[in-house]
Amino acid sequence: MTDYYLADKSRLNGQPKKTIGDYVASQGILVPRRFDTLHEARASGLPILCRSEHEQEYDGVSGLLYSPPLDSLVDTNDEQTLKEEALVKSRAYVGEHISDYCRFLKINEEKFKAEISFSFWQKMEGINITVIADTAIKERYHIMSLGQGGAAYTIFERGKPTILHQSGPMRNTRDQLQNLLHDYEAVRNLEKFDPDTCPIMEFQTVGGKNYFLQYHQGREFQEANFTINPKNLQGKEKRTMFVRGATTPEGRTYTVALVYPESWKESHLPEREDGFYGHYEDLWSEMMASRWNVRAIPATGSLSFTL
């Protein structure tokens, strides 16, 4: 099945977050209140988040722009004036990402900036949660939670949660996670999306209810038809903390980057690169995510992999 929006990106109306938020809400799924104009948002009296919008945010990089709260910006109902200040705020938070992005992809920066806009959403406090279905194992989900002064990374597989990382007082019960995954699958299987895709979805959990925030394209599901016995490690082989995705049954050898010289900032993206080993988190890793075959993230005494 073809994704309705990827088949014709003009259907995103230049605002993928709001366009898809409106669609998901029309299907009976909870979504924070959205406003068509800045004037309507101000008149509501609600706390408002100005969410960055650009067509590329549906299947491109994340974190390219900053989404500021409305009360941090100039008091105006002129959306162009607000946009200009929001872009200044964005630069303060994410640096020269726009310029770097346009240089890497060799696109016109002024045209790109002209296509940026902001949609206006009710700002809701609570737990921010990102969910992605595993691309190789059915009924396995990766869940990242942030809120309540803490964070957690959980793998939920066949009704059983396993917490791989937890800091602060973060608590997600089994029932809460099951409800969250029910909502994830409800969105994933809506008519306009390809259910074979493993999308990255963002939710805000408030008072035990999950509010949909964003759908971001992921990789296609390809079920692994083999398993590896961790007791049969050989030589320098190590067991990872977790893996998302899979190689072929016979395994693969990858040549991965360890560091990048400063000169890469003046270069273009390579057409192909096997992968990367390290904690490097920036625009480069976002832009390379779809090109890499493997991403290895070292952790204390173990490794984790995304394939």
Judgement on whether residues 210 and 261 belong to the same structural domain of the protein: no
Judgement on whether residues 71 and 116 belong to the same structural domain of the protein: yes
Q: What is the reported pLDDT for 69?
A: 95
Q: For residues 16 and 213, is the Cβ–Cβ distance under 8 A?
A: no
Whole-model pTM: value is 0.90
How buried is 135 (Cβ within 10 angstroms: 0-12 exposed, 13-18 middle, 19+ buried)? buried
Length of the chain: 307
Closest of 299, 286, 199 to residue 242, by C-alpha: 299
Judgement on whether residues 157 and 178 belong to the same structural domain of the protein: yes
The rounded distance, in Å, linking the Cα atoms of 255 and 187 is: 37
Give the tens place of pLDDT for each residue, 209-225: 999 999 999 999 998 88
Q: Residue 132 forms beta bridges with which residues?
A: 142, 200
The rounded distance, in Å, linking the Cα atoms of 135 and 153 is: 17
Give the tens place of pLDDT for each residue, 18-40: 999 999 999 999 999 999 999 99
| 156 three-state secondary structure | strand
Judgement on whether residues 48 and 118 belong to the same structural domain of the protein: yes
Judgement on whether residues 91 and 41 belong to the same structural domain of the protein: yes
The rounded distance, in Å, linking the Cα atoms of 83 and 65 is: 12
- CA 255 to mean position of chain CA atoms: 26
Judgement on whether residues 82 and 112 belong to the same structural domain of the protein: yes
Judgement on whether residues 118 and 133 belong to the same structural domain of the protein: no
Report the number of secondary-structure helices (H) and strands (E) in the chain.
8, 14
Going by pLDDT thresholds of 50, 70 and 90, the confidence category of residue 301 is: very low
Judgement on whether residues 189 and 145 belong to the same structural domain of the protein: yes
Q: For residues 293 and 277, is the Cβ–Cβ distance under 8 A?
A: no
Query: Which residue carries 């984790």 as its tokens?
Result: 304
Does residue 10 lie within any of the structural domains?
no
Closest of 132, 216, 217, 186 to residue 24, by C-alpha: 186
Judgement on whether residues 115 and 132 belong to the same structural domain of the protein: no
Judgement on whether residues 211 and 158 belong to the same structural domain of the protein: yes
Domain count across the chain = 3
Closest of 61, 14, 45, 137 to residue 291, by C-alpha: 61
Give the tens place of pLDDT for each residue, 101-125: 998 888 999 999 999 999 999 999 9
Going by pLDDT thresholds of 50, 70 and 90, the confidence category of residue 273 is: confident
Other beta carbons less than 10 A from residue 91's beta carbon? 15
Q: Is the pLDDT of residue 249 over 90?
A: no
- Of residues 140 and 267, more confidently modeled: 140
The C-alpha angle with vertex 130 and arms to 160 and 120, in degrees rounded to 5, equals 145
Q: What is the reported pLDDT for 81?
A: 94
Q: What is the reported pLDDT for 300?
A: 58
Judgement on whether residues 131 and 118 belong to the same structural domain of the protein: no
Judgement on whether residues 104 and 148 belong to the same structural domain of the protein: no
Q: What is the reported pLDDT for 45?
A: 95
Query: DSSP per residue over 238-268, as a string?
Result: ---SEEES---TT-----EES---GGGGGSP
Name residues whose C-beta falls within 8 Å of residue 247's C-beta, 6 or more positions apart in sequence: 307
Q: Is the pLDDT of residue 130 over 50?
A: yes
Query: DSSP per residue over 164-207, as a string?
Result: EEEETT----HHHHHHHHHHHHHHHTSTTS-TTB--EEEEEEET
Q: For residues 75 and 295, is the Cβ–Cβ distance under 8 A?
A: no
Show the domain range for 98: 33-122
